[in-house]
Amino acid sequence: MQHRRSNTSLRSWLIFAATALALAAIGWVVWSLATNHDVLPHIDSAHSDTSITVGLTDAPQSLDIRTDGGTAVERALIGNVYETLVTRDNDNTLQPGLAKSWKVSDDGLTYTFTMRSGLRFSNGHALDADDVVWSLQQTVKNQYQGAGDLAALKSVESRDSRTVAITLAKPDPTLPRALAGRAGIVYDSTAKVSYASEALGSGPFTVARFDKRGTITLERNDDYWGAEAGVARVTLHYYADDNALAEAVRGNVVDLALPGDAATANALAGDTALTITHGTSTSKVMLALNNGTDSIFSDQQARKAIRHAVDAGSIAASRPDSAGALGGPIGRLEPGYEDLTGLFPYDPGTASALINNFIAGASYFGVIDLVVPQQYEDIGNTVATQLQAVGLSVRTDVVDGATAEQRIADGQYTIAVTATSGDDDAAAFGTSDNVFRYTSGTAQEAYGNATGATNDKDYQERMRAFAKTVSQDAAADWLYQRNTTVVARDHASGYPTNMTDRYLPLAGIVKK
């Protein structure tokens, strides 16, 4: 009987101990989640010793993300080495970044950001609200890249180590989105960094090596405050052009490739060891119409004739770099998007009727000077043919990309094929001072109403109204939204697919 009682006591004690340990573990997990700590800190990734090579074609000549205006350094470092107050997901939706949350006052003038706890830079320094304040102040004071996005900033202060308050001189509903870009990068206020050749941030990677001749080596930040990167090392290898990059893919030199030309990627489609994924960019291809007072396209009816004369849908369908037809200035991944492709259906009959409404008919248009960058020569040929089909005279001038941009800036064109760079293109049509010389009191008022919104819901609704106003006025002819392309070996997964021409967060990649 004594032996049986001892076993019972031992069993009761073991049950009590196990229960206590389980409750302690649950309590620790709850505390970790509540305080934004990792539930399983510093557990090595399943592929902790693996490395990948990513092939690209646009090498940055400097790592100074503060002053270098190119997209190459932004693509390499944001989300990998440097982190921002707010971030964006693969669909360009805003998400918490270094700030776990934010609130905006009813008048839209005060944004209060609450920082995550346990944040650190890769050198071990704590990252707190004072670093955020200093970073924003330095960006404005020195007019670093992104300073223009902070034009409405009146003051910024830290209320405690984890709370930052930004006060604006006027409402700016785009502020959170700006803080997901360069304006929102948080730098170490106490570190001494040679920014041109070094980078020190709070991200999942550090820069181990930078070679201007063509490589950036990123190594996993083992003390990262968030989830560990899936690979220990990433080599960004920059090639002279897409042809050289394609050869590297065929030679199994790179695990992941991001060609600038979708046609190059499509030529690799026969390799069964490769996965080719097309995503969506915020870049757009359009026909710029010179709206200047000395141009035929200062007349709305002339602009509408062009939109009916050009078959934007077929152009979009035929282009390897197209993610789909686009009928207005706002793309699918941008706030305020609405499908406007039905506003001006391809209709040569309607185009001809509009042209003939002018006293001299097609002669009134004179000879249309169509400026075309070399990479879009086939689009230029198609547009010229379609305009000639409705009786217009066209002189096509195929030039290099830089010359085309300069011609547009100088107003030395009638129509020009051009590609916009990103997700703020619509703003060009919202002011009277724009490269297309487009002026419309109605459009400018609509844009002012949108940018003066005190919350994101109103902003998006008003941007939809603005975009429709601009498109109905035929300020330009938006042809299509560009795609992005990722070519990956089958052993790689977890890579982003959208906007990879601007943003390339690599921490989620794993290698089998």
pLDDT of residue 213: 82
Phi-psi region of 261 (alpha: psi -120 to 50; beta: other; left: phi over 0): beta
Q: Which domains does the chain have, with CATH numbers?
A: 281-483 (3.10.105.10)
**Under a CB-based contact definition with an 8 Å cutoff, are residues 310 and 477 in contact?**
yes
**Under a CB-based contact definition with an 8 Å cutoff, are residues 66 and 219 in contact?**
no
Give me the residue label for tokens 């002026």. 439
Q: Kindly state the helix (H) or strand (E) to which residue 72 belongs, with its residue range.
A: helix 71-77
For the chain, 512 residues long, give each residue's pLDDT as a single digit of tens. 444 334 444 445 444 444 455 555 445 444 444 444 444 444 444 445 899 999 999 999 999 999 999 999 999 999 999 999 999 999 999 999 999 999 999 999 999 999 999 999 999 999 999 999 999 999 999 999 999 999 999 999 999 999 999 999 999 999 999 999 999 999 999 999 999 999 999 999 999 999 988 999 999 999 999 999 999 999 999 999 999 999 999 999 999 999 998 888 888 988 999 999 999 999 999 999 999 999 999 999 999 999 999 999 999 999 999 999 999 999 999 999 999 999 999 999 999 999 999 999 999 999 999 999 999 999 999 999 999 999 999 999 999 999 999 999 999 999 999 999 876 789 999 998 899 999 999 999 999 999 999 999 999 999 999 999 999 999 999 999 999 999 999 999 999 999 999 999 999 999 98
pTM of the entire structure? 0.88
Count, residues in the chain:
512
**Under a CB-based contact definition with an 8 Å cutoff, are residues 285 and 479 in contact?**
yes
Beta pairing class for 86-88 and 94-96? antiparallel
Q: Cα angle at 56 between 54 and 62, to 5 degrees?
A: 105
For residue 255, the one-letter residue type is D
3-state secondary structure of 103: strand
Q: Six-digit token pair at 89? A: 């997901």
Spatial CA neighbour of 387 closest among 436, 351, 422, 427: 351
Give the whole-angstrom CA distance, residue 435 versus residue 320.
28
User: What are the strands, taking DSSP E only, across 131-214?
Assistant: 153-160, 163-168, 205-211
Give the whole-angstrom CA distance, residue 395 versus residue 384.
8
Spatial CA neighbour of 180 closest among 412, 409, 423, 16: 423
pLDDT of residue 34: 43
pLDDT of residue 423: 66
**Under a CB-based contact definition with an 8 Å cutoff, are residues 268 and 249 in contact?**
yes
Q: Six-digit token pair at 197? A: 């050749």
Q: Using alpha carbons, list the distances in angstroms from residue 27 to 24, 42, 100, 306.
A: 5, 19, 22, 67
Q: For residue 137, how many C-alpha atoms fall within 13 Å in the half-sphere facing its CB?
A: 14
pLDDT of residue 39: 40
Cβ contacts of 241 within 8 Å, gap of 6 or more: 57
Q: Using alpha carbons, list the distances in angstroms from residue 475 to 126, 482, 512.
A: 50, 20, 50
